[in-house]
């Protein structure tokens, strides 16, 4: 098999793996939003992990990405994105860029994504991957995520990809009226996904399901 044929075969194999992931891990567990399903069929998850882990990229589990961080399990990515109820016109703030995979999924479903990562090496790698894949509507910034991105606020939607003890006040302040935030809230080692809405300036919280995320670090979250 020539080099070109090998590349084509690899691309087709990973496409089949994505389809299997979507059907067995998302659809089978109740994710129905067509925008989310289409996005996760398109985004090449294997390109957001180290080459040594690419054969495991579409498995039903998180994977390490360095710096003590992980790329979330596909179902969690799909569920959090679905809970945002995106229609394609929203400006989204993501806290915790990590590998950049969740940002790419959001970019497929929304108009613009502003993503904040506190770890410079992860931010640089995610930015490089997203640029290589031509995700021109994603902006990555290195900063402490608990402060949000004030100069780009307000945001129609906010997704927090790390668990904290409560909703950081700056993030709620930067959520637009009528907006939705999805965040894991709870203890350091186990949380519940919550949907936070801003209704006439007041907070409205709906509990969704249990989850385990890396800790949200910062002034308005865990200190270490």
- Which residues are known to be catalytic? 72
Distance CA 104, CA 131 (A): 10
Per the CB < 8 A criterion, the answer to whether 115 and 103 are in contact is yes
Measuring CA to CA, which residue among 134, 90, 139 is closest to residue 114?
139
Distance set, CA 168 to CA 33, 127, 145, 158 (Å): 28, 25, 9, 12
DSSP 3-state of 177: strand
Measuring CA to CA, which residue among 108, 78, 71 is closest to residue 213?
71
């Amino acid at each position: 098999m020539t080099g070109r044929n090998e590349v084509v075969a690899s691309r087709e194999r990973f496409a089949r793996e994505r389809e299997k992931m979507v059907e067995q891990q998302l659809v089978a567990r109740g994710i129905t939003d067509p925008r989310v399903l289409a996005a996760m069929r398109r985004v090449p998850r294997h390109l957001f992990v180290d080459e040594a882990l690419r054969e495991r990229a579409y498995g039903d589990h998180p994977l390490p990405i360095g710096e003590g961080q992980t790329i979330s399990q596909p179902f969690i990515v799909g569920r959090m994105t679905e809970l945002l109820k995106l229609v394609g016109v929203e400006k989204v703030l993501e806290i915790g860029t990590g590998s950049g995979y969740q940002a790419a999924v959001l970019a497929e479903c929304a108009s613009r994504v502003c993503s904040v990562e506190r770890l410079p090496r992860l931010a640089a790698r995610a930015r490089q991957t997203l640029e290589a894949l031509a995700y021109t509507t994603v902006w990555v910034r290195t900063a402490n995520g608990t402060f949000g991105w004030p100069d780009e606020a307000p945001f129609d939607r906010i997704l927090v990809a790390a668990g904290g003890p409560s909703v950081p006040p700056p993030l709620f302040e930067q959520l637009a009226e009528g907006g939705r935030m999805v965040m894991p809230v709870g203890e350091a080692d186990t949380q519940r996904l919550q949907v936070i809405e801003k209704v006439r300036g007041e907070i409205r919280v709906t509990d969704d399901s249990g989850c385990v995320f890396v800790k949200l670090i910062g002034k308005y979250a865990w200190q270490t």
